[in-house]
Structure 1
Amino acid sequence: MRILLFNLCCLALVFSTKAYNASNNWDGKYTETKAISKTFEVEKTALLDIKNKYGNIVFTSWDKNEIQIDVELKANGNNLEKVKSELEAIEIYFEASSIKVLAHTDLSALEKRFWGRKSVDIEINYTVKLPVKASVKLDNRYGSIKGDRIDGHARINCDYGGVSIDELRGRNNQIELDYCNASYFGFINSAFVDADYSKLEIDRSNRIELNTDYTSTSFGNVIELNYDIDYGNLEIEEAGDVAGISDYVGISINYLQGSLEADADYGSIKIMDTDPEASGIEIDSDYTGIKIGLHPEWEFNFDFEGSYSDVKGRDLLNLTEVIQKNTSKSYKGYHLNQSSTNRIQIAMDYGGLRLERTTK
């Protein structure tokens, strides 16, 4: 079964390599193009559903109650007859009503010819205008998705490409990325984000559910973040409330305004600075290095315990209890105010904690 699955994966990759090569890299003698344009009158909250392969989807929002779709199809190769034949085999299927417009790329006829084909490159690009309050369902494989603003719900799925969207203002958006090397979102209101083998940047966001594998994710400012990460990196410039679990992940927070709850194995956690109003930090870790920058005016109680671990920077704190037994150590105390409800609680095995005082 594993051999069969591997062979099927190889077949898919071979087809994708032959079928899609960006047009700016084409070197065939002949290039044929075909254009399709459609305009649909819709309600302002209509759904746009596009599914494509081997090209890009670019959308722009406007104040008209219309969805305008322009599709450009290209084929390139050294045999003119084959180029024309491949181009004609590409179908774009449309379905429309006042509340939904669907446009799907149909390559079934083309893919049936795979074993008898000579080398022909194809590209299918969608350029779309839609109402700003519309919702979207965009699925693209081997290409990018780019756009400015969506106020409705957005469901974005991109494989082997990249996404660049300025604003997703709707709630509970869904974003799925696989092998997307560079993706960017200027603002996301709220979303579930699932990414594998990708690189993702989100400048501003209110609430994010993040699930990634082998992915590097960076945030400018996030108010609420829940994460589940295996193998990768998580970087946050300014964080509100953050909670999650990670394995083999480097986590870096430049400024923590609210709270952090982290369960981490085989990685690192760095908090460069904390807000004096931060509510707390709770970390349970194995084989993880931890660094926390303490604001000089932050009041908190603390409880540190660990096996085969050490705490550096204890002189910055007021210790009320120290217990050392064999390979285990425990430290309790406070910073500035013993009655504070703010708290740092850290349990660690085979790691270390470094505390540093930051400037005001």
Structure 2
Amino acid sequence: MTIMDTACKKWLLCIALVLMAHITMAQEKVSKTISETFEMTNAGELQVDNKYGNITIHGWSKNNIAITVDIVTSHKKRENAQQLLDRIEPKFKVMTDFVAISSEIAEKNKGFLAEYFNKANPFDFDRSNVQINYSIYLPVNAVVDINNKFGDVILEDWTGKLKMEVQHGDVWINKNLKIADIDIKYGKLKANNINFGSINLKNGGLSLGKSKDLRLTSSGSTIDMEEISSLEIYSSKDEITIGEVETIHGELEFSNLELANVDDKIDLAMNIAEFKVLTIHSADATINIQQQSSEIVLNVQDFSFRFNATLEEGLLRIPKTFENIETQMIDKGKKIRDIKATYGNSKQGSITITGEKGVILLKEL
């Protein structure tokens, strides 16, 4: 056998493998579209409960709601794809100024034995073979309540009150919302402006422009916020950057938070966290921090204040320009010391830090 014959056989084998893989991966697709229109005003409410697809909400000026559902199923056998498609049917509940929609997938078989096996194996299909997408137009100020799993949510030209729970999907909001209650797991949220909001985030991401009043509970996430007036935060294992905040209070645990500018108040409890403030803007700002084994860096340049600290062990570094420094050892055994000092002329502001161990650096940057 020649070298050319061997190379030719290898080439033919590769082609055969590619063709077999293509045949194996080829999927038959079938689809159907369902459209409904109902009366609804700006005082109305929409509820959507969906899995395995995307939801797009559009606001408009009409006094009705228009719903389009596109359903696509796929399988190696067209017959199986069609059977799965036939089992999927959106259910509509309609009352005056209220519409509720749910995507239901009927059981494959019925009867006593079928019910037993369905409970033992509730997923008799691969969710990647199902796509249920909603496109909804409704009055711009109507209330929207969404529950979506394994799909994205897009809100366009709509400014009403929002309640939303999303798992394994991303969310985009392109208009300013007045009130929003959002829960996201394993997904990202991008929004311009949420005036009054409550956001729960797990293993996800947040990009937010502005908020007047925000309560944020998060774990394992990456967070970037531009301007928040009042922030209540409970964070665990997060990476957080904030452009500007007037007041911030809450708890940090195993999280890193960098704050570019604070105006009025910081009141935080920290455990094994990193916290950095680049600018303290208001002359009468108050900063209260309780910490354990955390690293705190505060730029005190151009901020005049009274300083009080009660620390057990740990490292404290202050600028040489501090005045009226008083240090008192409260407990020699536990190495607890009390430090008082002043900085600058007006001394309108205050910084109070208590806790155990940790690294506290007050700098002139």
Same fold (TM over 0.5): yes
Residue deviations 1:90-110, cap 9 Å, x none? 010012233111111112435
1:98-157 Cα offsets, whole Å, 9 max, x none, are: 311111111243594867658970100001111111110011000111112443221011
**SS, match of residue 85 in structure 2:** helix
Structure 1 residues 169 and 119: alpha-carbon distance in aligned structure 2, compared to 1, 3 A threshold? closer
Shift of the 51–119 alpha-carbon distance from structure 1 to 2, 3 Å rule, reads closer
Q: Which residue of 2 aligns with 1:250?
A: 256
Equivalent of 1:352 in 342, 359, 365 = 359
SS in 1 for 2:79: helix
Letter of the 2:314 counterpart: S
Alignment match of 1:122 (pick from 130, 148, 152): 130
Match of 2:142 among 123, 134, 152: 134
Which one-letter code corresponds to 2:96 in the other structure? S
Give the aligned partner of residue 300 of structure 2: 294
Q: 1:307 aligns with which of 276, 289, 312?
A: 312
CA contact under 8 A between 1:268 and 1:290: conserved in structure 2? yes
Once the two structures are overlaid, the 10-residue window that deviates more, 255-264 or 273-282, is: 273-282
Q: d(CA) in 1 for partners of 2:200 and 2:153?
A: 16
Q: In the alignment, what sits opposite 2:198?
A: 192
Number of residues paired by the alignment? 329
Q: Within 2, Cα distance between the matches of 1:258 and 1:119?
A: 50
What one-letter code is carried by the residue in structure 2 that aligns with 1:157? E
Note the alpha carbon deviations across 1:180-207, whole angstroms, 9 max, x for none: 1x22111101111112222122111111
Give the TM-score normalised by structure 2. 0.84
Q: Deviations over 1:321-354 (max 9, x none)?
A: 12246433332122223652x2110113111111
- C-alpha displacement at 1:356, in angstroms? 1.8
Cα displacement (A) at 1:213: 2.2
In 1, Cα distance between the equivalents of 2:126 and 2:355?
A: 59
**Contact 1:303–1:345 under 8 Å retained in 2:** yes
Matches within 5 A, 1:81-96: 81-96=79-94
Three-state SS of the structure 2 residue aligned to 1:316 is: coil
1:322 equivalent in structure 2: 327
What stretches of structure 2 of length at least 5 have no aligned partner?
1-23, 110-117
CA contact (8 A) 1:170 1:190 kept: yes
Against the structure 1 CA distance between its residues 277 and 96, is the aligned structure 2 distance closer, same or farther, given a 3 Å change threshold? farther
Structure 1 range deviating more: 306-315 or 223-232: 306-315
- Superposition pairs of residues 160-239 of structure 1, within 5 angstroms: 160-171=168-179, 173-180=180-187, 182-239=188-245
Q: What letter is aligned with 1:295?
A: Q
C-alpha contact 1:86 1:120 (8 A) present in aligned 2: no
Please, which moves more after superposition, 122-131 or 141-150?
141-150
1:158 is aligned, of 159, 166, 179, to: 166
1:240 is the counterpart of 2:238: no
Letter in 2 for 1:252: E
Structure 1 gap segments, 5+ residues each: 1-25
**2:48/2:100 contact within 8 Å kept:** yes
Aligned AA for 2:65? I
Instruction: Specify the alignment match of 2:11 in structure 1.
Output: none
Determine if contact 1:54/1:123 at 8 Å carries over to the other structure: yes
Q: Do the aligned residues in 2 keep the contact of 1:262 with 1:284 (CA within 8 Å)?
A: yes
5 Å-filtered alignment, 1:259-298, equals 259-277=265-283, 279-296=285-302, 298=303
Q: Is the 8 A contact 2:40 2:138 kept in 1?
A: no
Mapped contact 2:319–2:363 kept (Cα < 8 A): no
Q: Percent identity?
A: 19
Distance, in Å, in 1 between the alignment partners of 2:108 and 2:207 is: 35
- Bigger radius of gyration: 2
Decide whether aligned partners of structure 1 residues 303 and 114 sit closer, same or farther in structure 2, where only a CA change above 3 A counts. closer
- What SS does the aligned partner of 1:314 have? coil
Q: Kindly indicate whether the alpha-carbon contact (under 8 Å) linking 1:291 and 1:355 is maintained by their aligned counterparts in 2.
A: yes
User: What do residues 231-265 of structure 1 show as CA deviations (whole Å, max 9, x unaligned)?
Assistant: 22232111110000121111211111121101000
- SS of 2:287 mapped into structure 1: strand
**Following the alignment from structure 2 to structure 1, what is the Cα–Cα distance between the partners of residues 123 and 164?**
32
8 Å CA contact 1:260, 1:281 repeated in 2 = yes
Q: Structure 1, residues 259-300: CA drift from partner, whole Å, max 9, x if none?
A: 11010001111111111435211100000000001231x222
- C-alpha distance in 2 between matches for 1:125 and 1:301: 58
SS at 2:357 equivalent: strand
Give the TM-score of the pair, scaled to structure 1: 0.85
Distance in 1 (CA, whole Å) between partners of 2:353 and 2:126 is 62
For residue 78 of structure 1, what is the aligned residue in structure 2?
A: 76
The alignment yields a C-alpha RMSD, in angstroms, of 2.2
